[in-house]
Amino acid sequence: MTFLTRPRRRLLSVFELLAPAFLLAFATVLHAVSVHGTVTDPLGYPIANATVALVQNGRVLVNGSTGPDGAYTLVSSESGRFYVLASGISFRQLATESFFGGRFDGVEQNIVLEPEWVRESVVVTATGVPQPQAQVSGAVTELTAADFGNRASLSDPLRQVPGVNVVQTGQWGGETSLFIRGGSSTANRVVMDGVPVEDIGGRFDFGNVATTGIQDVEVYRGPNTVLYGSDAAAGVVAVTTPRGSTSFPSLLYEGDAGNFGTYRNQAQLAGMMRKLDYYAGASSLYTQNAMPDDGYHDNTAVANLGWSLSAKTQIRLTGRGSDSATGLPSANGGYSFNVFPNDGKQLDQDTYGTGTIDHTFRDNWHATVRYGLVRKREESEQWYPAGIPVAGNYYGNDVTVLGANGYSTSGQALMNYGTSFGAIYPYSLALASNRDNLYAQTSYEHGPHLGVIAGFRYGDERGLEGEPVYAYREGLERTNYDYQAQVGGEFKNRFFYTAAGGVEKNQLFGTVGTPRGGASWYVVRPGRGAIHGTRLNVNFAKGYQEPTLDQQFGSLYSFLLANGGQSTIAQYGIAPIGAELSRSYDGGIEQSLFSEKVIARVTYFHNEFGNQIEAVPASVVPQLLPNLTPAQQQQLEAFLNNNFAYELDLNSMAYQAQGVESEVEYGLGKDIFLRGGYTYLDAVVQQSFSSDAIGPSTNPNYPAIPIGNYSPLVGARPFRRPPHTGFTSVIYTGKKWSGVVNGAYASRSDDSTFLGGDDVNFGNTLLLPNRNLDYAWAKIDLGATYQWKPWMAVYTQLDNLTSNQHIGPIGYPSLPLNFRTGARFTLSLGKKQ
C-alpha cells in the first residue's frame, strides 16, 4: 500500500506544480496565429534550411528554418499585421507583402526566393495568378521602382522593354503610343489594378501618366485576350498601385525644378494599422516645353486602401485621377510642317477606380470579385483660325521639310479652314469614354500538375463624341461579356504548361473565340557553372480588338449605304465595322551563364494582323460615289472637312510582323545591374484599301514614287514600326550614391506627312515617299541620387543628353536636353527619428 501510494502522491504533486504552465501553453496555442507555407526557388524546388522570420511592427516575433521539403510553420500569440522575411544561400532576402492574422487563424504564405544576382520576379499578367517568371512561357518584363528612378512620366521607362516601340508626338504631354511586336498602337490592353482603362477601342495615351502611385508595371508581349478580353491583341500593360507596408505613417515629399520652366511636387503617405493598410499620393507637374504655346500641366492623385475582414478575406479599394492640359502648337500635322503656333489646347480628365474582394476557401482554392470604374473626358479647343490667310483658309509659314530618306519638299501647309469654307470658331471637340466592369475569377490547384482558373467578365461601355458649334452629338453603348477557362501546371519542376480559351459576346461585332497555349521546358536546370541553365519556350495565341468610337461613328460602309454607294460596297466587298484580328506564335531560348549571374533570352515571333481598320481620306470618299457630278463631289468633300470628318474607316488592311527579340541581364556584384536588348522587326503590308481600291497618291515632284497618304501600301512597312530597336540600362545602388543611365535606340521607319491635298492648291506637293521617312534616333538619359541624411536625399534627372531632335516622328521636334534637380524628404510619423 505504501509502495503504491507514494508514487501516486509524488505524481500528483508534480502535476500540481506543472499544471499552470501546461494550461498557459495550451491557452497560448489556442490563441495563436499560425503562419505556414513553403520556400522554393523560381522553378518550385524546395529550399531546405532557409531562414524565415515572422515580423510585426519591425520586430521579429519568432524565427525558424525550413525543413527538407521547404516547409515552415511560425506560431505567435500576437495578432495584427505581419510579414514574413526569408533568405537562403545564393538567394536575395525577400519580405512578403503584409497580411492580417488573428488568433485562431492559419495563414498560408508561400515564398519564392529570387537568385542573388539577376531579376526573377513573380508576375501576374501571363496567367492571371501570381507565378514566378521562371515558370512563365510568355514574354513578360517587369519594371520596378529602380527603373522609374527620378522619372516623372511613365513614357521613358517603357522604352526599356524589348519588342516595344514608344512613339511620342511632341514634348512633355504629347500623345504617346505603344507599338508591341509590330501591332498597332490600339492593340494593347492597359489595366490598372486589374481593371481595363484604355479608351473604347484600345486607344491610350501614356504621355499623361505620372509615375506617382505606381509600384510596378508588367508588359506582356503577345495576344492575351483570353484573360483580358478585347484590345489585348498585341500585348498587355499592367500597372499596380503601392500598398502601405510600415506600422507607422510614412511621409515622403519631393520637389524639383528644371529648365523650360519645369517644376514638380509630389507627396506620398503610407502605412498600416491592424486590419487596415493605406496609401495616398499626389503630384503636380508644370512645364512650358521648348515650343511656343506648348505649356503642359498635370495633377495626379492616387489612393489604395485595404481592409482584412479576416485572414482569409480582404477588401481593397483603389482610385486614380488625373487632370492635365497641354497646348496644341501643331495643327494638321507636326509643328515642323508650318512653324506657326496654333492656338489650341487639349484637356484630359481621367478617373479610375476598383473595388476588390479576395477570399481564400482553402490553401489551394481562391476567388476574386472585382468592380472597375473608368471615366475619361477629353476636350480639344481651338479659339481662332491661326495661320496666314490664303484664299479663304489659313496656312503655315513657307517651310522646307526633309525626310530621313533624303527627299524634301517646300511650301505652306493647311492649318485651319476659314469661315468661308463653313468653319466656325471658337471650336471644340469633346470625347467621353466610360466603362463599368465586373469580373469574377476562381482558381483551384489540384497538386503541382494541374491548376484551373475560370472567370467571367461583364462590361458596359458608353461613349460620346460632340461638336457643339455644329450641333453634333453622337453616343453609343456596348454591353459585352466573356467567359474564360485556363489550365496549367508543371512536371518535375522542369516542364511548365498553360492552355486557355475564351469566348466573348460583343454587342458590335458578335461572338469571338480565342485560344492560347504555352509551354516551357528546362533542358538543363539553372545552377553553378559557366553555361548551366537552358530553357525552351513556345507560345500560341489569337486575339481581337474592338473599334474606337471614331471608327464606328465614321464607318465608310454606313456612309456609303446612306448615300447611294451600294455598288461600291459590292465592288470592293466593304463590310460594317467589325473586330480587328491577330494571331501570334513565338518560340525562344533562355540561357543562364556564370552561375546565374547572367541571363540571356532570344525569341522569334511571327504575328498576323488581319481585318485591320484603315482610314480613307475625305478627299477620296466622293470618288467612291460615281453617280455624283464633279460639283457634287466637291460639295461633299467640303461638307466632310467642315464637320472634321477628315477620314472614314473600314476593315481592309492586313499585315505580317515577324522578328527576333533578345535581352541580356547581368548582375555585376550586388550594387550594379546591367540590362540590354535588341529587337529586329520585319513587318510588311499584305492588303490595303489604299492600294487595292483607291490607288496610291503621288507628289508631282516625285511622279514615279507611289505614296500612301493615310495608310501604307501593299509591300511596304506599317507606319512607325522601325525594323531595329534597342535599349541599354545601367543601375548602380550604393550606400550613399545611386544612379541610372538609360539608352533607347531606333532605326529609320516608314511614315507619312499626312498632308495629301493640303498645299495651297489642295494638291499633294507636301507628301514625301513613305520609305524610311522617320529618322533613326538615340535617347540617352541619366539620373542620380545622393542620400545626404537618412531622411533627406538630393537628386537630378537629365534627359536626352545629346539633344536629339528626331526622337518623335517626322514633323514633331523632340524636347532637347532637359533636366530637373530637387530634394526628397522621408519622415516616419509617430516613430522616433
In SS3 terms, 281-309 reads as EEEEEEECCCCCCCCEEEEEEEEEEEEEC
For the chain, the straight-line distance linking the first and the last C-alpha, in angstroms and rounded, comes to: 71
469-503 exposure pattern, b = at least 16 Cβ within 10 A, e = fewer: eeeeeeeeebebbbebebbbbbeebbebbbbbbbe
Smallest Cα–Cα separation from 668: which of 597, 590, 734, 728? 597
Smallest Cα–Cα separation from 118: which of 656, 621, 600, 717? 600
State the Cα–Cα distance between residues 23 and 476, nearest whole angstrom.
69
- CB-based burial label for 523 (10 Å; 0-12, 13-18, 19+): exposed
State the Cα–Cα distance between residues 622 and 628, nearest whole angstrom.
8
pLDDT tens by residue, 281-340: 999 999 999 999 999 999 999 999 999 999 999 999 999 999 999 998 887 788 999 999
pLDDT for residue 452: 95
Smallest Cα–Cα separation from 522: which of 41, 61, 34? 41
Q: What is the DSSP letter of 384?
A: S
Question: Taking a C-beta distance cutoff of 8 angstroms, is the pair 565, 648 a contact?
Answer: no
pLDDT for residue 635: 64
State the Cα–Cα distance between residues 177 and 202, nearest whole angstrom.
11
pLDDT for residue 693: 66
Residue type, 585: Y
What is the pairing mode between strands 296-308 and 276-287?
antiparallel
Question: Taking a C-beta distance cutoff of 8 angstroms, is the pair 813, 805 a contact?
Answer: yes
State the Cα–Cα distance between residues 596 and 617, nearest whole angstrom.
54
- Low-confidence residues in the chain, pLDDT < 50: 1-29, 833
215: alpha, beta or left? (left if phi > 0; alpha if psi -120 to 50): alpha
State the Cα–Cα distance between residues 543 and 34, nearest whole angstrom.
44
